[in-house]
A and B are shown apart, each in its own frame.
Chain A
Amino acid sequence: MNELEQAGLARLRDGWISGGAAFELAPVEWKEFAAASNSDEQERRLLAIAAQALDVALRPAAPKTLKRRPPLPVLALPMLPDRLRPLLRAALKYAADARLKARVATLVASRGFVLHPMDWMPAASDQESPDIYAPWVDWQAGADGDRQSRRGQLTAETWDDFYPAARRAALVELRRTMPALARTLIDTKGASEPAEIRLALVELMRFGLSADDVPFLKNLSADRSGKVREMAGRLLARLGERGTQADGGSEDPIAELAGFIEEGKSGFIRRRTTYTPIKPKSPAQQARRADLFASCYFGDLVARFGKTEPDFIGAWQFGVDDGADLFLVRMIAVSGSDAAVACLADLLVAAGGRLALRVLQLMLRLDGGRKRVLIRQILDDGQNLAALNLVEGAEAGWLEWSDLAKSKTIPALRSAISGDNDVMKRSAEQSLETIGFLANPETAENLIDEVVAAGLSPASPSLGLLRLNAALAGNPSQSDR
């Protein structure tokens, strides 16, 4: 269409928009084609010509402001094969929330694959997905893909090439392999960051925490952010550094907290020290006790009684006051040494039952081995399968059939599935999803057979993760390699 015709079309359009005969406004060539004895017919013919001109001769012009996103970064693992994507989508569909969807991604990553980005993408604020997805998290947050792709190892020079998720993943890795280098980076680069980011960086010091970190953490006691000072204090407490020097005066919170604990003796032959929580006399006292447990450090409390951390834990009378038990466990999770955490976890798991579930408060501090012990304990018990969902940071794909076959979980699942109680059935199906994450392929396969034999439909969506797990049989979990 030439310029004259375009101008004519524009005039025609304006004429028709306002109404009335527009024939005289048309380009000359068009008028020749459209000429007719009847004016209505002339307008209709022009309308047909204009329609065709708009359809074939005009092209939408690209706005000058069109903006493209940087290319989606390529991840370090291959994408899940297409043949497994229907199973993956079924598992993702059944996963009720972002955390459970991220768990599916974790299982798949443990078998050496990443998900197709059209099936699942971590959100910009995601902190649950495996580290392998950090470049996508940063891409979602608006990171520059070019900068991401050209960066190498995290150093002071490449610091700005890393966006928050990738930087976090790199720092965690550095803390595990070269903790001093990571500490130096946090120290030098963190100083100029705002308090919120500084806090997140200092929090990463918990990975590979050692006595070498004490001077740096002590320096943070002068940080301008109260939250950073508090975090540094907790980390120091975990390293055995005393926070509050108790003077025993009326303003001493450690002395006040100790006042809620009764020291005693038990046993006839070998007199053994015991620590028993004293029941608060009023709601105000109860609240004060909770505050003190939350704000004091475990090392300071133990020092007040002149004991080592493991000795104090061994002497604590669990089961007397559930509330006090919970406060103590949380206190140890926050400020207890690694040895105290391990000792407490072992003691609680050995106690079994409800006490074993208190270990869930220690999740961020527990090593993979102790998490597995806890999970086996929950499965053996078979009474609180919902607690499996609370085991944060559990590894994927390691649970063996021998762990499960003799546990009370299998009869519990069978009974719930074959019974008439819909609530029990739903709960059992949720447990299947969780075990689908923990199981190795053989366990997944066997468990499917068990529950189908018990009456669960073979096509039940709750079997989605187990089926995906079993289908990934050729790719053992990284943790089992």
Chain B
Amino acid sequence: MQLDLKTIEALAPDQASLGAAAKLTKRSNWPRLETNEQLGLIWGECQGSGSNPYRVAFDTRDHGYKCTCPSRKFPCKHILGLMWIGATAPASFDRVDQTPEWVNDWLGRRRKPGQPPTPAPAGAEGKSIDEAARPEQSAPIEDAAAAERRAAAQRKRAEDTRSAVSAALDELDQWLADQLRLGLAGFVDASSERCRRIAARLVDLKATALAGRIDELPAKLMALRSEERPDAAIRELGKLVLIAKAWRAAPDDAELKRLVSTSETRDQILANPDAVQVESDWEVLGEKIETRRDGLVSHATWLLDLKSPTPRFAVLLDFFPASAGRRSGAFAPGDRFKARLVFYPSRVPLRALVAERLGDASPGNWPDFALNAAGDPLAAYAAFQDGAPWLSDWPILLPAGAIALDEKDGAWWQAANDPHGIALPVAGSVNQTLLGLDLEVTAALWNGARLELLASQSNIGRLDLS
């Protein structure tokens, strides 16, 4: 490994990046640091502000780099941090002969420069690694009066936000009544324009999360057959009524604030003593990546707890600007790892953060959850709806079944013995091979109208279906 601090200084886009990178040089930020000396590569996983760790790789021979974070600075602080550890503490890297698949993918896709990198210039203008490495000066001690003023300002801001959100929900109530008065047939046809208008008002009044949800409503409706849209509109608009009423009853409730205005930061969740923590073996069931109308891409990674006696799920949810381009996630479907997850406090905990990666988990089948093949496949969904009726997508495990086709070639999941005549429609088109396989257990998301298949255990092993 041939890295020196001058190179890092020269590559850094600005002094702020160097400062941020300096904070990432603690070994505890990096659950994994590895090197392949023969290839001159270093890589690692860095726990950033997202729910997933970022994957970071650097080629010491030509200074090529790759990071899965959404930063628009190149190289980002994670790359600089990795290089910094490489330059100052190379022993932190485990030496391995094999490169992981995601590093191979990157190496395979990148175009190598024709010439080796030029040596770092003697002095990088406006940037100083020495400055960045210096410990931050401790903040001046605040006097009691100043602290009181700051607390008062915080209270005032919170009160202002609450008033604004309350006004937003009043407008939402009126808008909902208007849609019913004007007729849902018209709403379905003009949902894009009408939703955009109320969403913009909600953003102005600080109900940002609710605005995002309403903005996505037209796309949800359009994904359904026309005869299904009125029911879907009733379901989605009804959930908005419930959210508004619940928030008014408990405006300080963390889950409701998350649904209506803003979410907590990673640090807030980690510091929250009420947040449920689960240390277990997890399997990545699948991913769902959607570009939203507000220009953000939501990247959901669905996990199954392999040690829980009953099916327990978690979702790692990250958002990044669509303009940042396609980025790969930290996990691939089928990956298994040991980790401590911290769940966002809620009535039925689902969204989580990886607090600590504890290594890889051994491969194998899913635990036997003794699913009742003769029972209602949506019983778990109904139970979760009782606790949190505003939820839309919920993961479920389906018992033994198979995929069948209707007359229009629409796919349906059907239980192996189908005691109730229930079949669940599957979103989108399915791989035709699936039609000939016996699905022993299937993990899927149910959104009230469609199943989105994530993974299955079948007569020929695990199937990635997301």
Contact = CB atoms under 8 A, between A and B. Distances in A.
Of the candidates A19, A44, A121, the one having the most CB atoms from chain B within 10 angstroms of its own CB is A44
B258 interface: no
Given A72-B433, A457-B108, A51 B177 contact: no
Given A51-B239, A62-B422, A66-B423, A457 B112 contact: yes
A48 B425 contact: no
Interface in B74-128: 99, 101, 103-108, 112, 114
Contact of A43 (B177, B183, B431, B462): B177
B134 interface: no
Contacts of A13: 230-231, 234
A139 interface: yes
A66 B414 contact: yes
Interface string A19-42: 111100000000000000000110
A62 B436 contact: no
A21 to B, nearest CB: 8
B186 interface: yes
Given A56-B386, A71-B436, A116-B461, A50 B414 contact: no
B349 interface: no
Contacts of A71: 436-438
A159 B116 CA distance: 66
A52 B436 contact: no
A21 B422 CA distance: 33
B151 interface: no
Interface stretch (B8-16, B274-282, B400-408): B400-408
A139 B422 CA distance: 27
A47 B423 contact: no
A16 B182 CA distance: 8
B429 to A, nearest CB: 15
A17 B448 contact: no
A281 interface: no
B436 A66 contact: no
B33 to A, nearest CB: 20
Nearest to B434: A118
A43 B180 contact: yes
A19 B241 contact: no
Contact of A72 (B183, B382, B412, B436): B436
Contacts of A116: 460-461
B181 interface: yes
Contacts of A420: 114
Given A19-B180, A44-B173, A51-B237, A63 B423 contact: yes
A61 B233 CA distance: 20
Counting chain A residues whose Cβ lies within 8 A of the other chain, the interface size class is 35 or more
B235 A16 contact: no
Given A59-B378, A459-B99, A19 B406 contact: no
Interface in A454-474: 457-461
A45 B235 CA distance: 12
B235 A117 contact: no
A48 B241 contact: yes
B242 interface: yes
Contacts, number: 168
B180 A47 contact: yes
Interface in A46-74: 47-52, 54-57, 59-63, 65-72
Contacts of B99: 458-459
Given A50-B234, A458-B107, A117 B180 contact: no
Contact of B174 (A40, A49, A117): A40
A79 interface: yes
Interface in A226-268: none
Contacts of B463: 118
A60 B422 contact: yes
B177 A40 contact: yes
Of the candidates A41, A54, A61, A86, the one having the most CB atoms from chain B within 10 angstroms of its own CB is A54
Nearest to A21: B181
Contacts of B242: 48, 51-52
B376 interface: yes
Contacts of B424: 60
B359 interface: no
Nearest to B185: A17
B421 interface: yes
Interface in A117-144: 117-118, 121, 139-140
Of the candidates A19, A51, A59, A460, the one having the most CB atoms from chain B within 10 angstroms of its own CB is A51
Contacts of B173: 40-41, 44
Contacts of B402: 68
Contact of B436 (A18, A60, A139, A458): A139
A459 B183 contact: no
A6 B79 CA distance: 59
Interface string B179-214: 011111110000000000000000000000000000
Contacts of B238: 47-52, 54
Given A54-B234, A458-B39, A62 B460 contact: no
B418 interface: yes
Interface in A420-470: 420, 457-461
A67 B385 CA distance: 31
A118 B433 contact: yes
Interface string B439-466: 0000000001000000000001111100
Contacts of A56: 381-382, 385-386
Interface of A: 13, 16-22, 40-41, 43-45, 47-52, 54-57, 59-63, 65-72, 79, 82, 86, 90, 116-118, 121, 139-140, 145, 420, 457-461
Given A56-B382, A121-B433, 11 more contacts: A17-B184, A19-B185, A47-B180, A54-B234, A55-B448, A62-B422, A62-B423, A63-B406, A68-B414, A117-B436, A121-B432
29 contacts: A13-B234, A18-B185, A19-B184, A44-B177, A48-B245, A51-B234, A51-B236, A51-B237, A52-B238, A52-B389, A55-B385, A56-B382, A57-B382, A59-B376, A60-B425, A67-B406, A72-B433, A116-B461, A117-B437, A118-B433, A118-B434, A118-B464, A121-B433, A140-B432, A420-B114, A458-B107, A459-B103, A459-B104, A460-B108
